[in-house]
Structure 1
Amino acid sequence: MSTSFDVSGSPGRGGARGALAGGAEHPHYKWVALSNTTLGTLLATINSSIVLISLPAIFNGVHLDPLEPGNVSYLLWMLMGYMLVTAVLVVTLGRLGDMYGRVRIYNAGFALFTITSILLSVDPLDGGGGALWLIGWRVLQAVGGSMLMANSAAIITDVFPARQRGTALGINIVAGIAGSFIGLVLGGVLAEWNWRSVFWVNVPIGIVGTIWAYRSLHDTGLRRPARIDWWGNLTFAVGLTALLAGITYGIQPYGGHTMGWTSPWVLAGLIGGVAMLVAFGLIEARVAEPMFPLSLFRIAAFSSGNAAGLLASVARGGLQFMLIIWLQGIWLPLHGYNYEQTPLWAGIYLLPLTVGFLVAGPLAGALSDRFGARLFAAGGLVVMAGSFAGLLLIPSDFSYPVFAILVFLNGLGGGLFSAPNTSLVMSSVPARLRGAASGMRATFQNAGMVLSIGVFFSLMVAGLASSLPGTLDSGLTAQGVPASAAHTIAQLPPVGTLFAAFLGYNPMAALLGPALLGALPAANAHTLTGRQFFPHLISGPFHDGLVIVFWLAIVMALIGAVASLLTPRGRPTDEPDLISREAELADEVAAVPLSPASRSAGPLAGEAG
């Protein structure tokens, strides 16, 4: 099969336009590409978390009580839909970028993301209909976000030489990961003002980014026409969707059990999903032009780097959810904040986490270019594991300076890991497969975030189930609630209490009901529905669950560190990196002073192939 080398934006296409807009031949084009793809990645990842912390305001805005049993699914799909779609589609869209042009797919993603943001912000419906409107358009928004995430790293790898690639990817990848934490702060601020602004904020940035991308970006990488692997796409999408959906519903109560892992539908999703993924692997091993090139896993750096990335993503996702529950459900109410204010202040108090990412990421990328990426990637995960251990040692009602230092260290460790790890993975693959490799890397990262919800919520619910009923029973009876009523409430599935803490709600009024509250002395009723009772009640059981969750995070981070250390040095030898060499030659030519006659002759056009 022939391979064509497509370099868009040659001098014949552009002249003044190329120099002005940053055409592919322009010496500063790589920085234009980095700036735009970083904006796109940041916008896509901010949206994976901005809704997370804004859920109370969004549900109030569409007049839907998220704690009613029938509405839990709306809550989970609002939370999980975006992550699930990005996990499923990034490989396919990265492969399409290899086939039809990475910039073409990326630009279409920017436009789709912007259009769906407009539609999300004008939700005309209330109740369940309003929630379904948001879920549906958010799923389509995730398709646009997937187009951005699947191709941005490949575009950057195409245009930057190897000696600068770690720095460039460091800026892009850390901006992306930091976006998931920036979204927490931004969502808290915007939700305090108007829930629709959570979606409005994307619109002006999306319009500017879309126009900029269409005017400035040009494909410079290898493009290989090929057939679409329909059976591979279908089995992968169905298998991963079924598996992740099964995990999502597994944390909901079922048939008198605290969780739904025995539900026939959950078991069918898990078993069927695994079976479809096995079929996907068999198909990909036999098809001539697979969408998911399994041969890449023969590259040790690619395999170990993605394994470390998956483990780090699961650990990081679990941390994010646990910290939101800790702050919104316990610490902030204990320190005098009204429940309506907790999303805003939870985002503010998590700023050290974001700062740690922003400080370490670009620095680690630049240093890894000079000193190698393996030690930085492994060291970052060791720092993360240490911060998890520190969080285990502090009480539920912690001293904030200690908490701030620990979450800063966690962000610092994540930043030290992310850019070098991405550079290891992307530099290890042949240039013609960078789009697929970028999509595969993003799949592991996004699937890790979805898995973290199932894994950590399940562990937390298991921890709560052992200690919360007794604590809740004794706490309610101490406030005069009849023993029979207290016992009935205490036996309810703890997932409802966990979601209440996650959303910053005090569920006592809903659990007790107006008749029971009205029969209690006024002082007792005020205590039960006040700011202090619920946080004090769940702080002990929550810490029991937190111990289980963070110990698992520590283990995953340390295993990821070992995988990073075992990542071999070197680059693929099966084909030359034509893109990187061309970029390096362009840098060398740009550094040579030209005579006036040379300048007047204009740029030289060359061929690569």
Structure 2
Amino acid sequence: MDYKWIALSNVIIASLMGMINMSIVLISLPAIFNGIHIDPLTSFQYLLWILMGYGLVTATLLLSFGRLSDIYGRVKLFKLGFLIFTVGSILLYLTPSTGDAGALEIIIFRIVQAVGSALFMANSSAILTDAFPSNERGKALGINMVALMSGQFIGLILGGILAIFDWRFVFLVSVPFGILGTIWSSLKLKETSIKAPKTKLDIWGNAVFVLGITLLLVGVTYGLMPYGNDPMGWANPWVIASMVAGLVFLVIFPFIERRVPSPMFRLDLFKIKMFTYANAAALLNALGRGGMMFMLILLLQGIWLPLNGYSYASTPFWAGIYMLPLTAGVIIMGPISGWLSDKYGPRWIATIGMIITTLSFLVLADLPYNFQYVYFGLALFMMGVGNGMFGSPNSASIMNSVPAQDRGVASGMMTTVMNTAFTASMAMFFTILIVGITQRFPEAMTASLVSIGAVKLAPVLSNIPPTGALFSAFLGYNPVESILANLPPSVVASIPAATKTTITGTTWFPSAFATAFMPALKLSFYIGAAFCAVAALLSWLRGGTYIHGMENPEEVEELKDSKKG
């Protein structure tokens, strides 16, 4: 077998494993929380850390690992990533405790996984770029993008199925991928990269960057949690101090990188127009779509599926099924866009991809909460096509624009930008939702109770914490039953049977919640559209084909002719 296909197969295994792990947890949280006996209404902090802790750790380590791979070898660190990720998956399967201790163990073991994920994510694009010639890199990155997006939705469906049997299977499923990847990469992958000269590590740069981004993202995470009587923690002095300190360290970081002899973050690479514009476009695209998956699952599990007769227990599985058009769009366009960018350059196809993605956000923003699925499915397919058109040409243009010995750090910088933006995007959309729900939820609940003649319940049900309502929608269950279970028996006995049946059914709470939820959701989609529109502009402004070492326009034209031939 040609070595380039061996390299691609290893990277595909890593991509599938990493993305299945991310989405399978997203969809299986109800089973995980039930399995460790955690009350979802009082455990919002664990939700955030299980969801965002993985991304936070990955984002802080990618840059350092990218630089280390240029010095010590990309394949060596890539293989180590497989091994560490597999160990983390086994530890998650064996989680010994329940309650708060069990939740903390899951968070810690997820961090172990994140270290392994950062090792192979920082090197995947660089390994493909090393293995494939310049006129095939877009195709290779496009095929890998199909693996990434397929893994994301395989995880959704697998999570819905496995969670029915045992929540531990959700973590066990990654182990065979990890063992296979560890053995296959150890036997077949070889170091083909041009190593950068061995130099002193950028200790100060690493320390300041990791500290800065950690403090910032931790502050953002705790800012989403309730503080005192406030539904969010942005007024918490510790949150403010953490975010300010994080920003100060990140401001200091580039000044350090300009002065150290071997910087981990190669600021000089931003002198390359293609590198700068493509990374900026990737940043905006990730900001727009990073929280999109969370939003869509909220809409499906918390509102649309219950309103259309699906039981709360079945909503995680069906949410994965109904989001398949997004996967289909990426699977169709990922390889095609890579091939087209190899042949004609990335500019047009990446730009059109972001325009299509912008339009898909606008279509989603225009839908009512009880939409006809054909329009929702069409919008998802458009989003998949748009992102499939953008992803591989944009990544190929970044990797083609840098010297061969800097591909590891370039890959680390690219994935750091995207992962940090993904985490920031989730925090931003969380904030928009919680603020919107806080303002509208009590009024919406009261109006809905009045409409069914149960105004006496308004003081109780309209005081459900906004984060609790959001959490219950995300996990796909009706919090009214939990509220009633905690009321005095005399109060519950005074509720007419017909009223009790209505408010504990599958349609009343989703309808009431949708009134408060939809304005914030629409605003989120409009913001996503704005980010992707600017990304389209940057994709156009990046210019035509640029490959490092072929700055002469005649050489580029000769390459294009050879591709056409």
Counterpart CA distance in 2 for 1:368 and 1:478 is 57
Partner of 1:603: none
Partner of 2:478: 506
Cα distance, 1:327 vs. partner? 0.5
Q: Which moved more, 1:243-252 or 1:79-88?
A: 243-252
Cα distance, 1:52 vs. partner? 0.7
For 1:21-420, list aligned pairs within 5 A.
28-68=2-42, 71-224=43-196, 225-420=198-393
Find out whether 1:558 has 2:533 as its counterpart.
Answer: yes
Counterpart CA distance in 2 for 1:401 and 1:269 is 45
Counterpart CA distance in 2 for 1:55 and 1:518 is 33
Cα distance, 1:378 vs. partner? 1.1
Q: Which moved more, 1:253-262 or 1:200-209?
A: 253-262
SS of the counterpart of 2:41?
coil
Cα distance, 1:499 vs. partner? 1.4
Superposed CA deviations along residues 491-534 of structure 1, whole A, max 9, x for unmatched, are: 45422211111111211123343324333112211211111111
| Contact kept in structure 1, 2:402 and 2:548, CA below 8 Å | no
Q: Which moved more, 1:441-450 or 1:171-180?
A: 171-180
Superposed CA deviations along residues 199-226 of structure 1, whole A, max 9, x for unmatched, are: 1111112111110000000110111212
Percent of pairs with identical residues: 47
Cα distance, 1:482 vs. partner? 5.6
Cα distance, 1:124 vs. partner? 1.6
For 1:470-489, list aligned pairs within 5 A.
470-479=443-452, 481=454, 483=456, 486-487=458-459, 489=461
Cα distance, 1:346 vs. partner? 0.5
Which letter does structure 1 place at the counterpart of 2:518? Answer: H
Cα distance, 1:177 vs. partner? 4.0
Counterpart CA distance in 1 for 2:536 and 2:141 is 20
Pick from 492, 514, 526 the counterpart of residue 517 of structure 1.
492
Which letter does structure 2 place at the counterpart of 1:39? Answer: I
| Contact kept in structure 2, 1:243 and 1:272, CA below 8 Å | yes
Partner of 2:405: 432
Cα distance, 1:567 vs. partner? 0.8
SS of the counterpart of 2:409?
helix
Q: Gapped runs of 5+ residues in structure 1?
A: 1-21, 23-27, 589-609
| Structure index of larger Rg | 1
Cα distance, 1:114 vs. partner? 1.1
Superposed CA deviations along residues 256-281 of structure 1, whole A, max 9, x for unmatched, are: 22322111121112111111111222
| Contact kept in structure 1, 2:347 and 2:545, CA below 8 Å | no
TM-score between both structures, scaled by the size of structure 2: 0.94
Cα distance, 1:309 vs. partner? 0.8
| Contact kept in structure 1, 2:225 and 2:232, CA below 8 Å | yes
Which letter does structure 2 place at the counterpart of 1:293? Answer: R
Partner of 2:394: 421
Pick from 540, 548, 554 the counterpart of residue 523 of structure 2.
548
Q: Which moved more, 1:198-207 or 1:489-498?
A: 489-498
Which letter does structure 2 place at the counterpart of 1:552? Answer: I
Change (3 A) 1:280 1:507: same
| Contact kept in structure 2, 1:463 and 1:548, CA below 8 Å | no
Cα distance, 1:180 vs. partner? 2.8
Cα distance, 1:228 vs. partner? 1.3
Counterpart CA distance in 2 for 1:517 and 1:311 is 50
Q: State how many pairs are aligned.
A: 552
Cα distance, 1:174 vs. partner? 3.7
SS of the counterpart of 1:67?
helix
Counterpart CA distance in 1 for 2:233 and 2:85 is 34
SS of the counterpart of 2:118?
helix
Cα distance, 1:196 vs. partner? 1.1
Counterpart CA distance in 2 for 1:44 and 1:340 is 26
Cα distance, 1:574 vs. partner? 6.7
Cα distance, 1:573 vs. partner? 5.2
| Contact kept in structure 1, 2:461 and 2:480, CA below 8 Å | no
Q: Gapped runs of 5+ residues in structure 2?
A: none
SS of the counterpart of 1:82?
helix
Counterpart CA distance in 2 for 1:376 and 1:570 is 12
Cα distance, 1:455 vs. partner? 0.7
Which letter does structure 1 place at the counterpart of 2:12? Answer: T
Q: Which moved more, 1:175-184 or 1:217-226?
A: 175-184
Change (3 A) 1:375 1:509: same
Counterpart CA distance in 2 for 1:214 and 1:185 is 30
| Contact kept in structure 2, 1:111 and 1:144, CA below 8 Å | yes
TM-score between both structures, scaled by the size of structure 1: 0.87
Cα distance, 1:464 vs. partner? 2.1
Cα distance, 1:191 vs. partner? 1.5
Which letter does structure 1 place at the counterpart of 2:416? Answer: T
For 1:548-587, list aligned pairs within 5 A.
548-571=523-546
User: CA-atom RMSD, angstroms?
Assistant: 2.1
Which letter does structure 2 place at the counterpart of 1:231? Answer: W
Q: Which moved more, 1:100-109 or 1:511-520?
A: 511-520
Counterpart CA distance in 1 for 2:547 and 2:329 is 33
Find out whether 1:527 has 2:502 as its counterpart.
Answer: yes
| Contact kept in structure 1, 2:452 and 2:499, CA below 8 Å | yes
| Contact kept in structure 2, 1:509 and 1:517, CA below 8 Å | no
